[in-house]
Amino acid sequence: MKKFSFAVIVVLSIIMSASCSKDEAPVVIYDATVTFKPLEGGFYYLKQDDSTALIVTNKDMQKYPFADGKEHRAIVRYTLDNVSSQMTIPGFASTKTVVLHDMDALYTKAPVVLKKLNPEIYGDGLLGLYLGPNTFPRTLIEDGYLNVCFEMPMSDFGITHEINLLTGVDPKDPYVVELRHNPKGDISTHSQSFIINFPLECLPDTKGETVALKLRWHSMTTGKWETVAFDYCSRTDW
């Protein structure tokens, strides 16, 4: 998914049962946001969450798909496979083999470490966040990234909006961050949806403790600044 280019994603778990007989279990296609983790030899695994690693078994997708050799966030569709794998991924409670059907890389952008707030630069445009356990894709913290799924008013005139995650907005709490939208003068009642991932490497180390990371944004729904809290524990292997 290229920067600010994809339309609203409506992704549901799809049960493919047309080709199954009455005695066969349906094939469930799973949708997930994951981190592609490169390994030696040009291989990789997918980190779905802190306890689950996915090993891809279809041969056309077994080589690392990103030329730079760095980890990447992506949205994927897969089915579980019942074959065993010689690959072992230490540190995970669960390792699953999967057939990877589709993937789209997600745009990743470093947060802004704020020294002085300049609203003219970062803006205070309206945003709508996709939240809640039954929403996919949604805003959540995963593998040290703040995965922000949002919508914003945006016309079709080719005006480039700017989205930033600001840190350092509360001198008393380093785990308060703000999502800022600069519409660059674009005024529209038509909304488009996007995903951006922000690596949280710049935040202070929680030293193994779980803290509340508070995300603030200017809500399209209420017209006010709203706050949502996520459980956050620092990633140690950046």
- Which pLDDT belongs to residue 23? 52
Q: Whose CA is closest to 89, among 60, 35, 46, 32?
A: 46
Q: Please, which pLDDT band fits residue 10 given cuts at 50, 70 and 90?
A: very low
**Is residue 224's pLDDT more than 50?**
yes
**Is residue 9's pLDDT more than 70?**
no
Q: Please, which pLDDT band fits residue 14 given cuts at 50, 70 and 90?
A: very low
- Which pLDDT belongs to residue 25? 57
The answer to whether domain 109-232 has CATH 2.60.40.2370 is: yes
Cα–chain center distance at 219: 20
Residues 117-143 have pLDDT tens digits of 787 899 999 999 999 999 999 999 999
Q: What residue ranges in the chain does DSSP mark as E strands?
A: 14-16, 27-38, 44-49, 52-56, 72-80, 94-105, 107-108, 112-113, 128-129, 140-142, 145-153, 162-167, 176-182, 191-199, 211-218, 225-232
Domain coordinates in residue numbering, the chain: 14-106, 109-232
**Alpha carbons 175 and 170: distance in angstroms, whole number:** 8
- Which pLDDT belongs to residue 187? 85
**Is residue 232's pLDDT more than 80?**
yes
Residues 173-210 have pLDDT tens digits of 999 999 999 999 998 888 999 999 999 999 999 999 99
Quote helix, strand, coil % in the chain, to nearest 5.
5, 45, 50
- Answer whether 195's CB lies under 8 Å from 147's CB: yes
- What are the distances in angstroms from CA 77 to CA 31, 49, 102, 103, 169? 5, 15, 5, 7, 37
DSSP state of 154: -
Classified as helix, coil or strand, 60 is helix
Mean pLDDT of 94-114: 95
Mean pLDDT of 145-155: 96
Q: Whose CA is closest to 73, among 158, 144, 175?
A: 144
Mean pLDDT over the full length of the chain: 88
- Which pLDDT belongs to residue 85? 81
Fold of 14-106: OB fold (Dihydrolipoamide Acetyltransferase, E2P) (2.40.50)
- Which pLDDT belongs to residue 24? 56
- Answer whether 126's CB lies under 8 Å from 220's CB: yes
